């Protein structure tokens, strides 16, 4: 079948984790693999029984019982965070970690928390990812294969990803967002410490480009941003609260700044960088509350239909998924 690369168009927090979980369940994917920088970004999914799942290290594909989850070699691993998620989600025997992943260690976290530039100017999560990546580039970081506690999980994830993708479906879950990319953002230093494009995600997990089936770009209907940096069409906090569309970061709990509309030029630029073949349009209920919890195409309202047309025009790709609420099943499949 091939691989589906899930990438965020803008500044992250778009619901990539929910999209990954939905596809894993719908398509019974045998493998989901995490791309991205590391544990500096989180994913949250509300299960149909109301359970809120929050993850920082592992992809959310494990929500399908038959899906193995993995961490690509380009992703930083925090052994404590990993162990916590394996235990919390009862994933013994279902987790793979590439032995070449660099480790985030306590000293990396301490260094970032003591760095006023990162904490105050950039608005970093200060979870040790930038410091660990710097050590990796300087070839002095420890790797996953150097940590005895990670031994049960170790394998060559790149080889496994390509082997599975030749005959089955692999979901590659990116993190953060295209416009936070270190080398592609015009907003430096208000970026993360790596790139967050589809090509970067493929590189993070060692995926052969010939095995890519689709690039699914996730577009948040009303974009958000955590930390510093510009946010076009940003709404006043009181307006966000009045409309009942406030959000908070998974990792830090900080309020997410929220825009009142998409920036069409930036969306087009993200499409140019990522080459999406499909679009997932998320948080549609924040555009029109009448969409909350809708699960059938017949429930799509006029404002959301207009937004779908606009996004398809600006990205050159069809909208195939609509996210309509917090629950895992609050999704309209248009494929």
Cite the annotated binding site for GTP by residue number.
Answer: 256, 283-285, 323-325
E-only strand ranges, 62-106: 68-71, 95-98
Question: Residues at the annotated binding site for substrate?
Answer: 250-256
Greatest pairwise CA separation for the chain in angstroms: 56
Q: Pinpoint the alpha helices (H) of 138-256.
A: 157-167, 198-205, 237-243
Q: Could you give the residue ranges of the DSSP H alpha helices within 123-281?
A: 129-137, 157-167, 198-205, 237-243, 264-274
Query: What is the Cα–Cα distance from 287 to 281, expressed in whole angstroms?
Result: 11
**Tokens 């410490």 map to which residue?**
193
Question: What distance in Å separates the CA atoms of residue 7 and residue 35, rounded to the nearest whole number?
Answer: 10
CA separation for the pair 35, 100 (Å, rounded): 14
> Strands 52-55 and 43-46, how do they pair?
antiparallel
H-only helix segments in 178-293: 198-205, 237-243, 264-274
Separation between Cα atoms, residue 282 and residue 267, nearest integer Å? 14
Q: What angle do CA 48, 54, 59 make, to 5 degrees?
A: 95
Q: With 0-12 CB in 10 A as exposed, 13-18 as middle and 19+ as buried, what is 126?
A: buried
Q: How many Å apart are CA 7 and CA 172, to the nearest integer?
A: 9
Task: Enter the DSSP assignment of 199.
Answer: H
Helix/strand/coil for 55? strand
Element of type H or E holding 312: helix 302-315
CA–CA dist 333, 209 (Å, integer): 26
In the annotated binding site, the residues are 13, 42, 125, 139, 176, 192, 250-256, 283-285, 323-325
**Residues noted as catalytic:** 13
Confirm if 71 and 39 have CB atoms less than 8 A apart.
no
């Amino acid at each position: 079948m091939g691989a589906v690369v899930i990438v965020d168009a803008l500044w992250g927090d778009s619901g990539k984790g929910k999209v990954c979980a939905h596809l894993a369940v719908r398509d019974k994917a045998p493998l989901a693999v995490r791309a991205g920088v590391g544990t500096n970004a989180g994913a949250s999914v509300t299960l149909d029984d109301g359970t809120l799942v929050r993850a920082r290290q592992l992809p959310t594909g494990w929500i399908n019982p038959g899906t193995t989850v993995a961490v690509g070699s380009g992703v930083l691993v925090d052994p404590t965070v990993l162990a916590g998620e394996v235990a919390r989600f009862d994933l013994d025997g279902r987790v793979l970690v590439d032995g070449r992943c660099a480790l985030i260690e306590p000293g990396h976290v301490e260094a970032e928390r003591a760095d006023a530039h990162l904490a105050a100017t950039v608005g970093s999560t200060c979870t040790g990812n930038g410091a660990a990546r710097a050590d990796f580039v300087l070839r002095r970081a420890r790797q996953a294969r150097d940590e005895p506690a990670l031994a049960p999980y170790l394998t060559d994830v790149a080889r496994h990803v390509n082997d599975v993708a030749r005959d089955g479906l692999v979901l590659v879950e990116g993190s953060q967002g295209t416009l936070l990319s270190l080398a592609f953002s015009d907003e430096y230093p208000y970026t993360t410490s790596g790139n967050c494009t589809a090509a970067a995600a493929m590189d993070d997990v060692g995926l052969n480009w010939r095995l890519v089936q689709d690039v699914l770009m996730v577009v948040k209907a009303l974009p958000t941003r955590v930390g510093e940096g510009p946010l076009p069409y940003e709404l006043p906090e009181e307006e966000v609260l009045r409309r009942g569309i406030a959000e908070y970061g998974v990792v830090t709990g900080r309020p997410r700044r929220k825009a009142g509309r998409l920036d069409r030029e930036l969306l087009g630029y993200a499409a140019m960088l990522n080459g999406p073949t499909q679009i997932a349009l998320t948080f549609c209920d924040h555009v029109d509350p009448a969409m909350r919890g809708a699960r059938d195409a017949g429930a799509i309202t006029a404002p959301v239909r207009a937004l779908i047309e606009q996004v398809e025009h600006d990205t050159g790709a069809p909208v195939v998924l609509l996210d309509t609420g917090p629950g895992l099943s609050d999704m309209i499949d248009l494929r």
